[in-house]
Structure 1
Amino acid sequence: MKKITLISILLFSVAVFAQKHTRNRATIPKITLTGKIIESNTKQPLEYATLVLTHTPSKRISGGITDTKGNFSIEIPKGEYLIKVEFIGFKTKNLSNKRLTKNTNLGIITLSEDAEKLNEVEIIAEKSTVEIRLDKKIYNVGKDMTLKGGTASDVLDNVPSVNVDAQGAVSLRGNENVRILIDGKPSALVGLTGTDALRNLPADAIEKIEVITSPSARYDAEGTAGILNIILRKGKITGFNGSLNITAGHPDLVRISPNLNYRTKKFNLFSNLGYSYQKGPGNSQTTFSYLKNGVLDSTQIEDRTFDRKNNNFNASIGLEYYINKKSSVTGNFVYRKSKADDVATNLTDRFLFNDSSQPLLNEIRIENEQENGTDKQYSINYTNNLNDKGQKLTIDLQYGDSQETENSPVTVNSVLSELNSQITSSKEKLLQIDYVLPIGENSQFEIGHKASYQDLSSDFNVNILNSANDFDPSNAITFKQNVFAFYSQYGSKINQFSYLLGLRSEITDIDLNVLTTNQESTKKYTKWFPTVNIGYELNDNENLSLGYSKRLKRPRHWFLNPFETRSSATSVFRGNPDLNPTFTNSFDLGYNTKIRKFNLGASVYYQHSTDIVQPISVIEERNGNNIFVRQPVNLNDENRYGFEFTSNYNPTKKVRLSASFNYYQFNIDAFSHTYTSQNGSKIVTNLAEVNENSWFARFNSRITLPAKIAWQTRLMYRGPKNNAQSDQEGMFMANLSFSKDILKEKASLVLNVSDLFNSRKRESTTYYGGRENPSTIADGTFQWRERQISLSFTYRFNQKKKRGKPAYQNNGGGSEFSG
């Protein structure tokens, strides 16, 4: 009740604050100047075009910028103005002696390319920027030196609200049920392995990250925490340009990332390429304490070391052809080839309490996993801007084909005991149609359809040669998931108030067939997902936003497969074909402001989820040995709420500071789970109600030293986190980099140290049988990768830095109704 009262007070305070600002604004006689800026040749809107308004009598200067559709809306006092319209690479247009006494629409303003400027350079953003939209926040990657030579995982881990843990799992506001898209769609660049693929997508290929905590109806309902949309770079300026990044580091790291673009008036050819070779040493240690009547009986220690070697090649090549001034066709081919040679060595010792001289179990298990993966994706997009008012039709077709083979010989105490092999194949097809119809000056209606088809097969074979293995995990499955979606949404802006209302329907058809046992599981359901996004502009630098959305999380195929996979002599994972999807209702209230050199964002959020999925660990006795089995199950309801703050402060041109803080609390109802062992016996785990909290914070600084050397520091701390059956300790990490531009700013050198103190480790405690009366307690430490030092060289041709783009775009009340 105290927490509900606290949130109510916060909401009431914000409402009173909004009313105060509204009264203050009403006393200022202002008008609104609107219009749209487009390119004269292609008729495409120009985003970030600048309007500079000089009040003729007082010489006072004001202005604004255009949004993604080229639209602008600027509040100014009545009077006579000189208006200057600018966009880098285009000729400036002057509108002189404009007397403005009432709300005025300047209509469509066209800008023509400046041939001399276009032949010089492509403009590259120098610094990271933040754009606030009605339904999302956009973080432009910019010139973040700690990311040079890094990967998509590093980029995501640098975004406020996002965390990447020691194993590479991505979470949004502490919730791992997040949907990751590339250019707005599922992508082969993510591949079958998901987090592994993100570790190999070069950071230099990424232009920006969209954080969508309250997605509109246009987006898939998948992902209860929200959506992270990775936008790749594409050349936008006429001519040939690009960049080349070469990175070398220790432990062994070589990464080469060329980005090449060529654009004319009729077509745009763009590419993002990347090759990497990397060694990834890691380690873990787990101590199992077996209890009898609450007293320690015996102890088991598992020491694991990981020696990973990965070769990866990524390519994304696209061609956009401009059919005429209003329509275009874009074809894109994505190819990813990965090869991994991973050796996991597991040393297991078990002995009685106070007697380590006679071990009950002593085993050295070495698994050499050799993996080859190939991902291909073909996509085509047709876009038709039916008129200059925003009426638009887009059609997307996509086909993906992923193949992965694994061979894993296993030796136990120097004797070859198993030969494991797995072949996984996945084919995905997608059709999406979206239509946007403007209504009047500030409203629009949108309707669309999406059909996605996934057909996956997996054949896992274990050849047991010399082992006391208590089961044969060989299995073959097929998994089909088809989702058909229809949506519509309507958005409008009335003065300072804007809203976007939507409704999405998704028909899900899932079929899992375990061929080994002829066991089939099907689930079919139709669900409705309403969305509401509301914005209110307090003034030019402040806005409020309120969002609601209903989401779901469907279980992945490896969570459904009932057969087991073994990671050590005593640890296995088993899927659960009876899993149901998780449904979540999310609410988000946000406030953003800009005060001179200081930017602040704050939000309060609440999520209510049903049938949440978490792995439960049980101990099963097999052939006299205790086997630790992890299985995902549907728990009861979860209530999660919290608040977050983000800030940017640039006191001087040489110092840039940013920080973010997120605190959340969650409650999970008490739950009782019954596990059926191999011999048919029942193992009951009673989980008490969980009331826990956690938090994480980030701090970034960029300071320009003498000789124009940039020094950047990034600090991150994630607080302790507990769930139904385990506790996780806090974790601290620091990254450090120094950079220097050379060759007349055509190139850069960057020295980067990732995990400076080698402290990125996960420490956890798991209670088997429940917290109140556990039968076994497991204390573990896990480190996915160790500290890394790298040196990067980047060369840019026909490019230079862009210094004019604002560092913070507050468009929360604008007309961003396209989702």
Structure 2
Amino acid sequence: MKKLYCFIPTLLLLFSFTVFGQETQTKGLLPEGKSEKAKITITGKIIEKTSKLPLEYATITFKNTKNPKLIFGGITDSKGDYSIVVVSGIYDITLEFISFKPTTISQKQLTQSTNLGTIALEEDATQLNEVVVRAEKTTVEIKLDKKVYNVGQDMIVKGGTASDVLDNVPSVTVDADGNVALRGNDNVKILIDGRPSNAINIADALRTISADALDKIEVITNPSARYDAEGGGGIINILLKKGKNQGINGTLIGTVGNPQNYGLVSNINFKSEQFNLFSTLGYNDSKAPGKSKTDTDYLNPDGTIQKTINERSTRERGRKGFNYTIGMDWYLDKTLTWSNTFNYRKNNGANPDNVLLYNEFPDIADNFVRNRYNDQFTRTHDVEYATNFTKKFKKDGHKLTVDGSFSKNLDNDSSTITDFVIGQENLATKELTKNFQTQKRSLIQSDYVLPIGENSQFEAGYKGDFNELITDYNVGDIDGSGNYIPNLNYTNILDYKEKINAVYSQFGSKINKFSYLFGLRYEDSNIDIDLLTTNNFNNKKYNNFFPSAFFTYQLKEQSTISLNYSRRISRPRSRFINPFSNYSSNVNIFQGNPDINPSLTDAFDIGYMNKWDKVTFSTSMYFNRTNDVFQFIRRPNGESVTTIVDGVTIVTPVILSTPINLAREDRFGFEFNLNYTPYKWWKLNGNFNFFQSKINGDYSYTLQNTGEVINENFDNTAASWFTRVSSKITLPYKIDWQTNATYNAPQNNAQGKSLGVLSANLAFSKDILKDKATIALNVSDVFNSRKRISETHLATLNSYSEMQWRQRQINLSFTYRFNKLKNNDKDKKPKGNQQDDNGDFPG
């Protein structure tokens, strides 16, 4: 056991020493009489003795017998092959792999390039019977151009959803409504497996995808021209699990929780030399109790309180559903792969929402309470087929990919709303709302990568994204005879069509310690907005160039500085455009704005990263300038709700929340990320982000009932910050303990402010059954404090609101792995200046 504890760190130190010190050793420690010309190449292959399958990441070490300081080494690739440059001489050669017996070739004289042939390693039965200390991937990997969050290493999210996962990712925050923001900016593009999500409502969709189906999250704050220009704040790419190991293997994960959360997820994979078959099946039955409150003082012209409405809402979002993914990678030959994936997701939910409105009047004694009960049902079906061809050419990194994705989505929502004054139930009114949405989306994409020489690379590609969304929204009253009478103010059919064609090219190169990458993307947008009920049609055509430039300089072996620029766009989607309302409260409603325009952002970023033995540190300072920035405001819409209580007519104005365009926003900020391993049993990572936003702009609107034009100035400067710290400790008996804490600081806006919120998560896990299984207990939102808290101050009202989407959640999960070690998916390391897995030129 003691040898095992020492084996991994020693191996990693040896490999790091070899890789980073190879050039120095070769030049400074050559035996006398030898020169640079004495270098030779040693090749070979390592396989597993029993199965004859190649061993990826096996290590090969060459130790010169005459000069022990002269050490060379390397690792095998996915085919078990290796190629290592050494200086001619006599060596002791060691070949080894975790849990296998090492093989040593002693006193091997190497005078010319040699192939050592195929060597088979045998499993070490004594090691397999022990608890092996593995070199686990950290939860957060910090890279110069992005951060990679390894979902499987985070116990906190076991049994949770994709939304829970994102809320634990550095630089990312998820508010109480499920809206995702990156470095405080909610204009973020979310991709799934590199493709735009096919969900109609991405916030709701993230809450239906099991966290156990996710592999990694990539956070790209300043993307290059290869990526969609969509998303002024950056890109978040969610990578789903897909087996990589030979043979049949997989996992089965069961979850129970309180409040009610029953889940079962299975991931099964079969890989051979010709095929890789993979599938994921997940089922979930959950209820998420939540609550909100809004206290509003309506003001007279002289500033005195006319009346007060304290609104209390309790809801229980229930979901039953399953999702299924099946796919196949077909290796047509050594250079050509054809992949096909089919995804299906179905969810049904009952979301009862009970709203109590306490009406208080300073001048009269007839206070009363209204009860508004929203009995809501939802039904969602998502179907997607995706295909990919990848052609690899002879030169490493030279490849052509062609992708297609075709999906259809159905999202139906219906509610029956009963409204009455308590004590006057016989005068209750009933309203019916329906929101039926159907989306069809087609995506075609091709990318070409051409390495040029040893240190340069050219890329080019095309992408077509074609989307049609039909939203049929209805609000109406049900009279005493059960007849439906539509309310035309809130009833409409929106036919939204979007056609986006894009081409790009970029070129990158490395000159000594300096790297650069220049890119240019062109996107042509053609958008039809057709409000069928009101016969209001609008076509928006615009085309834009999106340049990008990235520069990096390697200060030292482990220290790098970068300077980046890119141009981004944020297009308003259906929720922003469609003038339908969230009608659970008829005095505080949300409504889209059909006239809203896209916003354009120029993003600058300067970053620094350094690695030490136990620490990885990165920091960046950024500046974004956005024209026609989106801003949500609250305002009276000129309508009112009339309530009769004991013969007295009470009139309450309707307050509208809606998005608008303002002239400009300048956003400045800095952040740092830290991975620190003070001891083998303790890992820490932290993220801190500070930003300041300055918004300039005026907005005018017309009250519907009076025709009065209201002009408002929204100039505002606000600063805020958030921080997240995660600690993972291995306790006695190999129990892992993880704690996350997040604090979002207060932030001012033109109409009020949001208040600070502190929240924490807790988890414990233990491997059992000889590491084939893991049992985990986690508590999400330990202090039940994760809320959206805000204040609004207008000339006509002052309000305070709190919204908690889900109360504290406790989950117990059991994971069983068959034919699969806990941490056998190691990171693939790029060689030389090739692409990484996502095509990024590393520089």
Matches for 1:259-658 after TM superposition, within 5 Å: 259-292=267-300, 293-353=302-362, 357-359=365-367, 362-413=369-420, 415-466=428-479, 472-623=489-640, 624-658=651-685
| Contact residue 46 and residue 121 of structure 2 kept, 8 A | no
* Structure 2 counterparts to residues 749-788 of structure 1, below 5 A: 749-768=775-794, 774-788=795-809
Which residue of structure 1 lines up, in the alignment, with residue 716 of structure 2? 690
1:172-321 counterparts in 2 under 5 A? Answer: 172-188=182-198, 191-292=199-300, 293-321=302-330
> In 2, are the aligned partners of 1:478 and 1:513 still within 8 Å (CA)?
yes
What SS does structure 1 have at the residue aligned with 2:152? coil
The 2-side partners of 1:150 and 1:75 are apart by 48
The C-alpha deviation readout for 1:27-62, integer Å capped at 9, x for no partner, is 996899999999999xx9999676756576243767
Q: Which stretch shifts more, 200-209 or 609-618?
A: 200-209
- 8 Å contact kept, 1:372–1:404: yes
Structure 2 spans left out of the alignment, 5+ residues = 1-22, 30-35, 48-52, 641-650
CA distance in 2, matches of 1:446, 1:45: 32
Return the structure number with greater relative CO, CA threshold 8 A, min gap 6. Answer: 1
- Per-residue deviation, 1:362: 3.5
Shifted more, 520-529 versus 288-297: the winner is: 288-297
Offset of residue 676 of structure 1: 2.0
Tell me if the contact between 1:132 and 1:810 (Cα under 8 Å) persists in the aligned partners: no
Structure 2 residue matching 1:611: 3-state secondary structure: strand
| Shift, 1:173, TM fit | 0.3
Question: Aligned pair in 2 of structure 1 residues 223, 473: CA closer, same or farther (>3 Å)?
Answer: same
Aligned CA distance change for structure 1 residues 798 and 715 (closer, same or farther; 3 Å): same
Q: Are 1:140 and 2:150 an aligned pair?
A: yes
Q: What letter corresponds to residue 793 of structure 2 in structure 1?
A: Y
* C-alpha displacement of 1:499: 1.9
* Counterpart mapping for 1:735-814 below 5 A: 735-768=761-794, 774-802=795-823
Question: What is the DSSP-based 3-state SS (H/G/I as helix, E as strand, rest coil) of the residue aligned with 1:192?
Answer: coil
CA offsets 1:641-665 (integer angstroms, 9 cap, x no match): 1111111221222111221111111
Of stretches 584-593 and 467-476 in structure 1, the one that deviates more from structure 2 is 467-476
C-alpha displacement of 1:718: 0.9
Paired residues of 2:139 and 2:153 also in contact (CA < 8 A): no
Q: Tell me if the contact between 2:156 and 2:763 (Cα under 8 Å) persists in the aligned partners.
A: yes
Deviation at 1:294, TM superposition (A): 2.6
Task: Quote the Cα distance in structure 2 between the aligned partners of 1:565 and 1:733.
Answer: 28
CA distance in 2, matches of 1:707, 1:695: 39
1:264-312 deviation per Cα after TM superposition (whole angstroms, max 9, x unaligned): 1110001122111111111111111122323333211111111111112
Whole-angstrom CA distance in 2 between matches of 1:273 and 1:431 = 27
* Other structure's SS at 1:558 match: helix
- Indicate the residue corresponding to 1:16 in structure 2: none
For 2:623 and 2:40, the matched residues in 1 are separated by 36
The structure whose Rg is larger is: 2
1:662 maps to 2:671: no
CA RMSD of aligned residues (A): 3.9
Deviation at 1:142, TM superposition (A): 3.3
* 2:745 alignment partner AA: G
- State whether residues 640 and 666 of structure 1, in contact with CA within 8 Å, keep that contact through their aligned partners in structure 2: yes
Distance 1:316 1:502 in 2: 35
Return the offset for 1:472.
3.8
- Residue 145 of structure 2 aligns with an amino acid whose one-letter code is D
Give the C-alpha shift of residue 417 in structure 1.
Answer: 1.1
Rounded Cα–Cα distance in structure 1 between residues aligned with 2:598 and 2:97 = 48
- Cα deviation, residue 138, structure 1: 2.1
Q: Partner letter of residue 457 of structure 1?
A: I
Change (3 A) 1:698 1:68: farther
Give the match for residue 675 of structure 1.
701
Distance 2:527 2:43 in 1: 47
Is there any run of 5+ residues in structure 1 with no aligned partner, and where?
1-24, 769-773
Q: Distance in 1 between matches of 2:119 and 2:471?
A: 55
Q: Contact 1:592/1:810 (CA < 8 Å) preserved in 2? A: no
TM-score, normalised on structure 1? 0.86
User: Which string of whole-angstrom CA distances, capped at 9 and with x for unpartnered residues, describes residues 333-358 of structure 1?
Assistant: 01000111001111112222375x31
Going from structure 1 to structure 2, the CA distance change for 1:567 and 1:61 (only over 3 Å counts) comes to: farther
One-letter amino acid matched to 2:686: A
Please give the alpha-carbon distance, in whole angstroms, between the structure 1 residues aligned to 2:272 and 2:579: 55
Contact residue 244 and residue 259 of structure 1 kept, 8 A? yes
How far apart in 2 are the matches of 1:27 and 1:736? 47
Supply the distance in 1 between the matched residues of 2:611 and 2:370 (Cα, whole angstroms).
61
Structure 1 residues 518, 703: closer, same or farther in 2, change over 3 A? same
Secondary structure, aligned partner of 1:707: helix
Structure 1 residues 731 and 659: alpha-carbon distance in aligned structure 2, compared to 1, 3 A threshold: same
Match of 1:6 in 2: none
Report the alpha carbon displacement of residue 689 of structure 1 after superposing the two structures with TM: 2.2
| AA matched with 1:611 | D
Alpha-carbon distance in structure 2 between the residues aligned to 1:611 and 1:545: 29
Deviates further, 674-683 or 720-729: 674-683
1:540: how far off? 2.8
Decide whether aligned partners of structure 1 residues 70 and 263 sit closer, same or farther in structure 2, where only a CA change above 3 A counts.
closer
> What is the CA distance between 1:537 and its match in structure 2?
2.1
Contact 1:644 1:663 in 2 (8 A): yes
Contact 1:91/1:112 (8 A) holds in 2: no
**Distance of 2:633 and 2:42 partners within structure 1:** 56
- Counterparts of 2:713 and 2:96, CA distance in 1: 62
Aligned length: 778
Aligned position for 1:19: none
| Deviation at residue 544 of structure 1 after TM alignment | 1.5
Contact 1:667 1:692 in 2 (8 A): yes
Give the structure 2 partner of residue 149 of structure 1. Answer: 159
Tell me if the contact between 1:241 and 1:262 (Cα under 8 Å) persists in the aligned partners: yes
Distance of 1:434 and 1:730 partners within structure 2: 44
1:613-643 Cα shifts (integer Å, max 9, x gaps)? 1121112343543110112110121111111
Report the more deviating stretch, 716-725 or 398-407.
716-725
Structure-2 change in CA distance of 1:456 and 1:107 (3 Å): farther
Shift of 1:369: 1.2
- Which secondary structure does the structure 2 equivalent of 1:559 belong to? helix
1: distance between equivalents of 2:161 and 2:81? Answer: 34
Deviates more, 1:241-250 or 1:652-661: 652-661
- Cα distance in 2 between the residues matched to 1:71 and 1:519: 64
Change (3 A) 1:73 1:520: farther
Which letter maps to 1:248? V
SS at match of 2:733: helix
Alignment deviations for residues 558-600 of structure 1 (CA, whole Å, 9 cap, x no partner):
2112344423131222221111101111111111112221221
Q: Counterparts of 2:353 and 2:439 in 1: how far apart (Å)?
A: 27
* Contact kept in structure 2, 1:128 and 1:144, CA below 8 Å: no
The structural deviation recorded for 1:395 is 0.6
2:816 maps to amino acid: Y
Give 3-state SS (helix, strand or coil) of 2:663's partner.
coil
Check whether the contact 1:487–1:502 (CA below 8 A) recurs between aligned residues.
yes
**Secondary structure class of the residue paired with 2:724:** strand
Q: Conserved in 1, the CA contact under 8 Å of 2:162 and 2:211?
A: yes
Q: Is the 8 A contact 1:470 1:622 kept in 2?
A: no
